[in-house]
């Protein structure tokens, strides 16, 4: 097998919400621990020697560090990140011992364990490494550079014509770092009317555009482990507001179903947050629920924004935009359809937090109850417990 030499080029080659969450964890939960696990949803078969190649790439990540220029970029672009956090990040190094990798035949196992403020950065770069190595070691090269640029150009020009704003969210399942870089450059060059930024901080810096993101499901999942399911949404939002004081105001709504979220998204939170992010379930139904919720609180939905980010392509964006026009503000985060549209099947993989260890507590399984009927992830007993506590009945979801 030819050595892949797949490496990351920057500590900032990661999704922005990993750093914003890390900053909050660093401030609020410095002694908490977490476990994560790789889930091969697409049942992909990994070639012999894959785990060894991945291990080599992981070990090389220990040399990454925040450069002086990168630190200055974060200081200038993200004034809500504390100087103490930026100093910490400058001294941060990936610890490969936090990651275990093994392979049994064509099945891959990857697990992460350690302090949450450290392990929180592993998920996205590990997924991008797994994806890139998969194509390399299977000798699946995909489209030429010229075709990749042309594809991205054609897509963003269609979004320009549609009159919507688009961000690139595709780090996790990108075909390769090189592909990702070409795509973001093309979006920036040809998307003057639509392209507003990328979730990847490294790519944002390279292209002098905006890093975009707030928080992910794990933020809410940890809060359930520490405080219980009934108060997880409210305390997650309250702690976010306490850290960011009005910045980064898009709330993720579907960790424990949108219906439960909106029942706890009271008038204070509804006013404080700029909008919500849709990440599972029917986007049209979600839009209608969100509009109805704002109206019920006496708030004009046009003063708020929904960020749609669930498996989007042009046809889905058109359908959502037409439905929401004149009703509520909208924007779109498009991932794999941008960074892994090279003529090959994209991977269907995730890395999820599986357990949390709040300070003074014990290892507790964490779960996610998405808006897709029955599509819940985590320990089955904990899923049933959360459904009972939150009053979730699958037949009515």
The C-alpha atoms of residue 265 and residue 257 are separated, in whole angstroms, by: 12
Query: Residue 7: its pLDDT value, please?
Result: 79
Identical fold between 16-140+346-366 and 145-214+249-339:
yes
The C-alpha atoms of residue 220 and residue 256 are separated, in whole angstroms, by: 9
Query: Residue 23: its pLDDT value, please?
Result: 98
Return the domain boundaries, the chain.
16-140+346-366, 145-214+249-339
The C-alpha atoms of residue 338 and residue 173 are separated, in whole angstroms, by: 10
Query: Around 173, how many Cα atoms within 13 Å sit in the side-chain half-sphere?
Result: 20
Alpha helix segments (H runs only) across the chain: 16-28, 50-60, 68-77, 83-91, 116-119, 123-137, 145-162, 177-190, 201-206, 217-227, 229-244, 258-264, 267-272, 283-296, 314-324, 336-339, 380-390
CB 176 within 8 A of CB 4: no
Query: Residue 5: its pLDDT value, please?
Result: 55
In CATH, 16-140+346-366 is 3.30.70.360:
no
Per-residue pLDDT of the chain (397 residues; tens, 9 = 90+): 344 456 799 999 999 999 999 999 999 999 999 999 999 999 999 999 999 999 999 999 999 999 999 999 999 999 999 999 999 999 999 999 999 999 999 999 999 999 999 999 999 999 999 999 999 999 999 999 999 999 999 999 999 999 999 999 999 999 999 999 999 999 999 999 999 999 999 999 999 999 999 999 999 999 999 999 999 999 999 999 999 999 999 999 999 999 999 999 999 999 999 999 999 999 999 999 999 999 999 999 999 999 999 999 999 999 999 999 999 999 999 999 999 999 999 999 999 999 999 999 999 999 999 998 777 999 999 999 999 999 998 754 4
Query: Residue 249: its pLDDT value, please?
Result: 97
Query: Residue 393: its pLDDT value, please?
Result: 85
DSSP string, 196-260: EEESBHHHHHHTT--B-----HHHHHHHHHHH-HHHHHHHHHHHHHHHHTTSS-EEE--TB-HHH
CB 131 within 8 A of CB 40: no
CATH topology of domain 145-214+249-339: nicotinate phosphoribosyltransferase (3.20.140)
């Amino acid at each position: 097998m030819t050595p892949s030499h797949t490496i990351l080029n920057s500590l900032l080659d990661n999704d922005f919400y990993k750093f914003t969450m890390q900053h909050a964890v660093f401030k609020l939960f410095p002694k908490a621990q977490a476990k994560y696990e790789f889930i091969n949803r697409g049942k992909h078969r990994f070639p012999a020697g894959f785990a060894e190649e991945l291990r080599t790439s992981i070990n090389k990540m220990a040399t990454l560090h925040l450069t002086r220029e990168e630190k200055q970029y974060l200081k200038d672009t993200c004034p809500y990140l504390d100087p103490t956090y930026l100093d910490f990040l400058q001294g941060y190094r990936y610890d490969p011992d936090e990651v275990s990798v093994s392979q049994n035949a064509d099945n891959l196992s990857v697990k992460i364990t350690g302090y949450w403020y450290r392990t929180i950065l592993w998920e996205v770069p590990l997924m991008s490494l797994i994806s890139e190595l998969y194509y390399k070691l299977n000798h699946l090269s995909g489209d030429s550079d010229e075709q990749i640029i042309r594809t991205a150009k054609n897509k963003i020009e269609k979004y320009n014509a549609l009159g919507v704003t688009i961000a690139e969210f595709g780090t996790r399942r990108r075909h390769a770092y090189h592909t990702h870089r070409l795509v973001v450059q093309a979006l920036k060059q040809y998307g003057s009317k639509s392209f507003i930024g990328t979730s990847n901080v490294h790519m944002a810096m390279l292209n002098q555009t905006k890093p975009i993101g707030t928080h992910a499901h794990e933020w809410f999942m940890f809060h359930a482990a520490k405080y219980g399911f009934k108060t997880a949404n409210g305390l997650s939002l309250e702690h976010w507001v306490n850290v960011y004081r009005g910045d980064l105001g898009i709330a993720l709504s579907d960790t424990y179903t949108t219906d439960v979220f909106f029942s706890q998204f009271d008038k204070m939170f509804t006013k404080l947050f700029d909008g919500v992010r849709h990440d599972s379930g029917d986007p049209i139904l979600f839009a209608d629920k969100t509009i109805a919720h704002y109206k019920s609180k006496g708030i004009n939905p046009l003063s708020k924004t929904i960020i749609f980010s669930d498996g989007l392509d042009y046809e889905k964006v058109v359908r959502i935009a037409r439905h929401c026009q004149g009703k509520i503000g909208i924007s779109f985060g498009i991932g794999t359809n941008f960074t892994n549209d090279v003529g090959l099947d994209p991977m269907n993989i995730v890395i999820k937090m599986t357990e949390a260890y709040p300070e003074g507590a014990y290892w507790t399984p964490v779960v996610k109850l998405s808006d897709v009927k029955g599509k819940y992830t985590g320990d089955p007993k904990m899923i049933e417990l959360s459904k009972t506590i939150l009053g979730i009945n699958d037949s009515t979801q």
